[in-house]
């Protein structure tokens, strides 16, 4: 559990590079508020998503599952992407 907490803190710190507001929903789930950052980031939304995913993967070896315009859509996308266990 200690290793999970450390990895979670590491990812949260990394996500602050992409957004001033990072809201933790759980130990492995965050919401980034990108409102107001468009003027600072010249890339379109799709390259921004790839950039944060690549940074998380490079720093931690973990993959980012979803980048969506709001919390509800993000939660639904993550739930759909999770593998089913029979």
CA dihedral of residues 1, 59, 23, 50 (deg, nearest 10): -140
Q: In the structure, what pLDDT confidence band is assigned to residue 52 with cuts at 50, 70 and 90?
A: confident
Query: What pLDDT, on the 0 to 100 scale, is given for residue 39?
Result: 52
SS3 label, residue 42: coil
Higher pLDDT, 58 or 69: 58
Query: What pLDDT, on the 0 to 100 scale, is given for residue 37?
Result: 64
Return the ∠ at Cα 79 (arms to 45 and 27), rounded to 5°: 85
Query: What pLDDT, on the 0 to 100 scale, is given for residue 75?
Result: 82
Q: In the structure, what pLDDT confidence band is assigned to residue 48 with cuts at 50, 70 and 90?
A: low
Higher pLDDT, 77 or 47: 77
List the domains of the chain with CATH numbers: 2-81 (3.30.70.270)
């Amino acid at each position: 559990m200690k290793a999970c907490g450390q990895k979670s803190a590491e990812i949260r710190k990394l996500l602050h590079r992409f957004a001033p507001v990072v809201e933790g929903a759980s130990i492995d789930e965050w919401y980034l508020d990108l409102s107001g950052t468009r003027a600072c980031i010249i890339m379109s939304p799709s390259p921004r998503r790839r950039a944060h995913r690549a940074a998380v993967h490079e720093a931690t070896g973990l993959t980012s599952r979803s980048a969506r315009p709001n919390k509800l859509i993000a939660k639904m996308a993550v739930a759909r992407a999770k593998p089913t266990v029979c």
